[in-house]
Structure 1
Amino acid sequence: MTNILFAAGPDRWAVYEAPLRAALDGFGLDYALRCEAEPETVDYIVYAPDSEVRDFTPYTRLKAVLNLWAGVERITGNKTLTVPLARMVDEEGLTQGMLEYVTGHVLRHHLGMDRYIMNPDHRWDPVVPPLASERPVTVLGLGTLGTACAGALAGLGFPVSGWSRTPREVEGITCHHGPDGLTKALAGAEILVLLLPDTPATQDLMNRETLALLPRGACIVNPGRGPLIDDAALVEALDQGQVGHATLDVFRREPLPQDHPFWAHPGVTITPHVAADTRVPSASRVIAENIRRGEAGEPLLHLVDRAAGY
């Protein structure tokens, strides 16, 4: 029998138990799924980084840890975790949610919708936006989410550039990499989308120097990770008109403190980390598939590169 520990908190257990059992049953696995178990009996841990499980040493039979979140920065540095770690890549739910968020807010900024939505003076102000083909967009991060969003935006007619730390090729996207590539990617970005992981190499990537590389008045959409942006530098760039607007879904501290300057700034739209929440039914199927693979001796999906941090 395969023993599975759900170590992602009692609230999530209440919503995940039935979908996980249904997904596991679909593979005909002989399993026991529990939210409490003796460590030495556990084969797989379904995990969230806010779990009470911090020391993996007692889990002597453990084969893999399967993260419920796409972000793994809070667990990759755990030296007691020596078995494979898989992050959540849910194209059915998480990826689709991110794609909808990004395309919606890029179109909002492209069309200048705020001008009409927030119009208390009832001004008749007919400003015709350019066509998508005349609005360059850059996506920083060409992983699963970034590639999907870049492709969708290109499909709408936007000229899309993408940037990654290492070389990538994505059909229909002008790809850049490395420090020199970042400069080129930012220089043409009238709308910038941030979909990078949170690693030491990406923290404060958007700072006073890099924000200055953007075309004046550029818009930023960040549904990736809060630490990608230097908060103070962004407020300064907004005040100076270098950045026209920033739509932010993720922050260094969440919930965002009530006294944070983002709340009161007219150039900032705040959404409460809703861009790409994990969808329980589809995420359960991703977890079950990896357990099936593990038991069949097949390679696990979405394994984390500990050195890279994602």
Structure 2
Amino acid sequence: MTVNVLFAATADRWDQYAAPLRAEIAAAGVEAHLATDIPADEVDYIVYAPNSDVQDFTPFSRAKAVLNLWAGVEGIVGNPTLHLPLCRMVDPALTQGMVEWVTGHVLRLHLGMDSHIGAAPGTWEPVAPPLAFDTRVTVLGLGVLGAACASALAGLGFDVAGWSRSPKVIDGLTCLHGDDGLREALARADYCVLLLPSTAATENTLNAATLAAMPRGARILNPGRGQLIDDDALLQALDAGQIAHATLDVFRVEPLPMDHPYWTHPSVTVTPHVASETRAAYASKTVAENIRRGETGMPFLHVVDRSAGY
């Protein structure tokens, strides 16, 4: 029996995904019709991006799941018409990209690379950088991406702690949770990496009070969500020297407006939302596996907890 898979995303995404997605679904042993124009009442699965034209899920009466192409689900999880299981994107390439960005920028700051790259010719200041053994990193958020980044940094020798809302156990890491755990996590954060989801509970996780709780001269890296930081509070903390540097990849408004003070602040590095990207060749495997599972009666992978928002 042929299953109907609706691709509901932007046209450029269709160009990227059509061939690899068809190939991976076939490799998973599923006979499927993949298209962008299947009648709603004939759709079995929706491969979805939240910026799609599809915003009303009511007509999809026989669909079995919505398979999100993005790791973040804040753009869909609250949709009142969504009556289907929602699966977020988790794939090895997405994780690898995040690990590379986080470890690269932590090492850049840790080793003082900017001062060498920008130094005037003839500058010779042979000051050895600190060792990772003596440097504490806190990762806020211990989902798939956060756990992978925390483990990679620990593998490089950093003293790593991770924080999550609920208790977790991850080999090689100090895992903290809850309000008390957050205070402890921030108090020991020479570097703080933000990889929390965007929910009402995580909005402005870093604010005037929590920034003040960090060691003076701490450094912040945010490849998670722009909403995790109170921008005004961060700028004030940077100006006061409480925070020495912020490397930011995500923002409340994207592209970051040209008049935003982050662009010109001497202690801010802006990267254009490139910390990790969903790549069609890899993401198609995740989508195909969930379709295979749906067709064989197995539980879907990476199902979103609607009550938690991620």
- What is the TM-score when the length of structure 2 is the normalising length? 0.98
CA distance in 2, matches of 1:235, 1:122: 33
Counterpart for residue 153 of structure 1: 153
| Match of residue 97 from structure 1 | 97
**Equivalents in 1 of 2:211, 2:121: separation in Å?**
32
Does 2:130 align with 1:108? no
Q: Give the gaps of 5 or more residues in structure 1.
A: none
Aligned to 1:54: 55
Partner of 1:180, secondary structure, is helix
Q: How does 1:22-61 map to 2 (within 5 A)?
A: 22-61=23-62
After TM superposition, give the deviation of residue 130 of structure 1 in Å. 1.4
Counterpart in 1 of 2:220? 220
Residue aligning to 1:178: 178
For 1:300 and 1:122, the matched residues in 2 are separated by: 60
Q: Does the 8 Å contact 2:72/2:197 carry over to 1?
A: yes
SS in 2 for 1:20: helix
**Partner residue, 2:11:** 10
Alignment of 1:189-228 (within 5 A): 189-228=189-228
Displacement of 1:273 after TM fit?
A: 0.5
The verdict on how the C-alpha distance between 1:48 and 1:122 changes in structure 2, with shifts beyond 3 A counting, is farther
- Determine the C-alpha separation between the residues in 1 that align with 2:120 and 2:183: 39
1:6-39 deviations in whole A, cap 9, x for unaligned?
0011110011000001101112211100011110
Report the identity percentage. Answer: 63
The amino acid that maps onto 1:233 is A
Residue 198 of structure 1 deviates from its aligned partner by 0.3
The answer as to whether partners of 2:190 and 2:217 remain within 8 angstroms in 1 is yes
Residue number in structure 2 paired with 1:295: 295
SS at match of 2:96: helix
Residue deviations 1:191-227 (CA, integer Å, cap 9, x gap)? 1100000000000010000001111111111100110
Residues 133-161 of structure 1, C-alpha deviation per residue, up to 9 Å, x if partnerless? Answer: 00010000001001111111111111101
Q: Which 4+ runs in 1 deviate beyond 4 A?
A: none
Supply the distance in 2 between the matched residues of 1:168 and 1:32 (Cα, whole angstroms): 41
Alignment of 1:128-277 (within 5 A): 128-277=128-277
Q: Equivalents in 2 of 1:129, 1:209: separation in Å?
A: 30
Quote the residue 2:84 is aligned against. 83
Instruction: Give unmatched runs, 5+ long, in structure 2.
Output: none
Distance in 2 (alpha carbons) for counterparts of 1:52 and 1:68: 14
Counterpart of 2:7, as a letter, is F
Q: Is contact 2:29–2:292 with CA below 8 Å preserved after alignment?
A: no
The residue type equivalent to 1:236 in the other structure is: Q
One-letter identity of the residue aligned with 1:34: A
What is the alpha-carbon distance in structure 2 between the residues aligned to residue 112 and residue 212 of structure 1? Answer: 24
Task: Provide the C-alpha distance between the structure 1 equivalents of 2:272 and 2:197, rounded to a whole number of angstroms.
Answer: 18
RMSD: 0.8
Q: 1:188, 1:127 → 2: CA distance?
A: 24
1-structure distance, mates of 2:28, 2:39: 25
Q: Deviations over 1:232-279 (max 9, x none)?
A: 001000000011110000000110011111001010001100011001
